[in-house]
Structure formats: C-alpha cells, structure tokens
Amino acid sequence: MTTTPDAGTQESDGDLMVFGGNDQAFLEYPQPHYAMMRSRRPLLRVNGAVQTTTRAALDAALRNAEVYSSGIEGAPLGVERPLIPLQIDPPEHRKYRKLLDPLFAPRQMAKLEPQIATQVNELIDRFADKGSCDFTNEFAIPLPSTIFLRLFGLPISELPQLLEFNERTQRPEGSTSDEHLASRQANARDVYHYFEAVIAERRRETPRDDLLSTLLTADVDGERLTDDEVVDISFLMILAGLDTITDTLTCSFKFLAEHPGHRQRIVDDPSIIASAVEELLRWETPVMTIIRVAQADAEIEGCPVRNGDFVLACLGSANTDEKEFENPDEVIFERNPNRHIAFGGGIHRCLGSHLARQELRVALREWHRRLPQYDLPAGFVPEYSDGLRSVRNLTLHFPSES
C-alpha cells in the first residue's frame, strides 16, 4: 500500500487493514488489529481518506452532521438518489425520521415478538432432527428476510429476488472499483424498477395493514411522500432488513459455538440474553465501518481533516476502545453500562435497531431452548464476507431432537 505523509495523522503501514479488503484472518478476529490502530493515532490517513480508531474520534465525526455529511451521492452503492434517511442531512433528515422513528419504536417492535418466535421455531423444525444445519442459509438468512417481507407487506415468494438485489449491492461483480460501481449501478436500476412496479400496483389497491401501505398513505407536516421517496426508503430497508441481522447472527453463533462456557450461560439463565445480545454486538460489530464526507477543513482529536475527505468511522475499533470499556478484550455478558456503538451514532443512528434487538433476543432464546448443545464441525474453516462482516458458510452440529 502506498502512502504519503500528512501532518497530524499516521499513515497506514502495510500491517494495518483499512475499510474494505478481504483478509480472512483479519475478518475472523479483527480486535487485535483495532488495538494496533488505536496505538498509532486517533486518525489514520489512507489514500485520500481518514479512518477513526478511537471512540472519541468516532463520536466527533458522527455527532457533527454539519461538518461530516452522510450525503454521499451515488457512492458507494451506485444509487441515482440518496437512500432515505441514511444519506439525507439536516434539516430535511428530520422530516423523514419524524415519520419513520415511530414505526420502528420499541413498543411497535415488541408486538412482533410472537411472530418472530413462530418463525424461529418453524426454521428450527426443518433441521432439528438432522443433527446439523447450514446455519447461514437455513437460519440466519431466512429469519430476518421473512420477518422483513411480512412487515413490509411483500409476498414470501419475492424473497429470492430481494436477496439477489441485496447480494449484488453488497458484493458486486467484477474485480476493479470501476467494475464494482458499474455492477452496483445496474443493480440499483433494477431495484428502482422493481419497487416502482410494486408501488404502482399498490396504489391501485385498498391500503393494507403493513409498512408499505403506511408509507404510501402517511404524510409529514401535511405533505405525502412521493413515489420516488417511497422507493428510496424501500431500497434502504432491503439493505438493512435482509443483511445486517444475518451478519450479526452468524458472527454471534460462531462465537458461542467456540465458547461453550458463554453458550451454557445462556442455556442456564435465559434472563441474561438481552445483555448478551448487547455484548455480542459490541464484540463482533458486523458493520465494521460507516462513511461520512467532510464538508470543510476541520480537526478530529487534534488531527486535520480536509474538505472532501471520506471519513471512515470504524465502529469495530470504537467498540473495543480501552478508554471507553473496562477489559474491552473480554466478552462479559453482564457488562453494565454497555455503551457500544454497533448501530452507529448521532442523528443517523440505525433506524431498525429495535427490530434488530428483538429478532436477536428471540433467536437466542428459542434456539438455546431447543438446541442447547452445538459446536462447529471438525476442521471447519470460516469464510467471511468483507464490508459487512458475516460468516458465509457457518455450519453447526448438535444432538438431534428426535
């Protein structure tokens, strides 16, 4: 990796992994790398971007939306318009959160608990007597995907199409950055056409009791959402609803399979599950980095940031910062307080965090109630995806229920 020195920041050496890349050893166990990053400086400059390493540096970026914008036009997902509300800055951002936040409030998400529990058990029923499962494809992918489709009001038969959209967004075709961008742009056009057709059909129907109908009939300050706005919200939701919970499930269950003491604590005391979910989010942090772009020359923790710099806010490093957490390299289910930032921070904090927590809690509860003993197959070699960190081939062995 070539670098050029810059006053106030430490250039990345070859031993430091930055945003992107597919180094499997790093993706499986990134925490030591994060510690190495933090030992250098709070900000590292790499090829025209700066990467935060500490919690204080990350907070400085995420909590100052006036300087560090989320409005990254087109990049890196190839979209023609900003994803709503993720890539919308204040003051317009407030309009969308005013509409969307109540729809994903804890009380609303709590109503989904019976539905999530039913779906978890239906999935377990399919493999409980086999003594093993392809956890990624038989559980971690279909669980959040099915919940999302039902919440949004789309038929389950649409799942393969939406999973293809998501896969092409997260892992585009090609081997160069230009090829990746072209692939994502083509995929974005397909997503636009898909939701435009769905919306046109739904507008001809009587509104239903689902999230899409709510978006089509809701207003903010007396104004209805346009079709384009509904499409841009829907685009973001298939990315968030079909992938990030899958990633967290695979990382969490791999950890538990490798640490039977922690697994047994959940089996023996299910009341610990809520705090265990928070600690696993902190430790694993599947969404390792989120992006902002500087709108002016500024400083973070005494290190200069240039107007136009991409700021790679490293959630994973912030979540293992020894200045923020006592014994950060230990997984402690009783950690309290646990001020992890796995869902981001500032005004753009994850809209679906309460839904994610509900799904993760119910999944851990029902799984360990039915399949309390499980481990990895002998010789298992995990295959991690980059960007959003996920175990793509997680296989679990367990005693058959029969």
pLDDT bin (cut points 50, 70, 90) of residue 222 is confident
pLDDT band for 65, please (50, 70, 90 cuts).
very high
Is the confidence at residue 16, as pLDDT, over 90?
no
**Cα dihedral sign for 100, 289, 139, 402?**
negative
pLDDT of residue 5 exceeding 90, the answer is no
Query: How far from 181 is each of 104, 244, 388, CA to CA, in Å?
Result: 31, 21, 17
| pLDDT value at residue 213 | 95
Whether 355 has a pLDDT exceeding 80, the answer reads yes
Helix or strand holding residue 49 (H, E): strand 49-52
| CA dihedral (34, 310, 357, 393) positive or negative | negative
The pLDDT of residue 239 is 83
Task: Evaluate if residue 32 carries a pLDDT over 90.
Answer: yes
- Give residues with Cβ within 8 angstroms of 46, minimum separation 6: 1, 3, 11, 12, 18
**Of 15, 25, 13, 26, which Cα lies nearest the Cα of 288?**
26
| Backbone torsion region of residue 344, taken as left when φ is above 0, otherwise alpha when ψ lies between -120 and 50, otherwise beta | left
Residue 29 sits at the vertex; the CA angle it makes with 27 and 33, to the nearest 5 degrees, is: 90
Q: What is the DSSP string of 260-321?
A: HHHHHHHHH-GGGHHHHHHHHHHHH-SB-EEEEEESS-EEETTEEE-TT-EEEEEHHHHTT-
Element (H, E) at 198: helix 177-203
Question: pLDDT per residue over 245-269, tens digit each?
Answer: 999 999 999 999 999 999 999 999 9
Apex CA 391: angle with CA 116 and CA 13, to 5°?
135
Examine the pLDDT at 13 and tell me if it is beyond 60. Answer: no
Which pTM value belongs to this model? Answer: 0.92
Q: What is the mean pLDDT of the chain?
A: 90
Banded pLDDT at 243 (limits 50, 70, 90): confident
Residue 316 confidence class, pLDDT cut points 50, 70, 90: very high
Number of H helices, E strands in the chain: 17, 14
- Taken in order 288, 294, 299, 304, is the CA torsion positive or negative? positive
- Whether 9 shows a pLDDT value over 50: the answer reads no
Q: Which amino acid is at 395?
A: T
Q: Looking at residues 297-302, what average pLDDT do you find?
A: 94
Say how far apart CA 46 and CA 371 lie, in whole Å. 45
Per-residue pLDDT at 75: 59
The pLDDT, as a whole number, for residue 204 is 93
User: Judging by beta carbons within 10 Å of its beta carbon (0-12, 13-18, 19+), is residue 330 exposed, middle or buried?
Assistant: exposed
Q: What average pLDDT does range 166-186 have in this prediction? A: 87
Predicted confidence (pLDDT) per residue in 119-175, tens digit: 999 999 999 999 999 999 999 999 999 999 999 999 999 999 998 998 888 788 888
Q: Tell whether the model's pLDDT for residue 6 goes beyond 50.
A: no
Render the burial of 61-82: b for 16+ CB within 10 Å, e for the rest: bbebbebbbbebeeebbbbeeb
pLDDT value of residue 217: 93
- The reported pLDDT for the residue numbered 64 is 94
Tokens 């999973």: give the residue. Answer: 163
Q: pLDDT grade, residue 223 (50/70/90)?
A: confident
Is it true that the peptide bond before 76 is cis, omega within 30 degrees of 0? yes
pLDDT at 48 over 90: no
Specify the pLDDT at position 402: 65
| Residue type (1 letter), 91 | P
Q: How high is the pLDDT of residue 145?
A: 92
Catalogue all structural domains in the chain, each as residue range(s) with its CATH number. 10-73+81-397 (1.10.630.10)
Checking if the pLDDT of 73 tops 70, the result is no
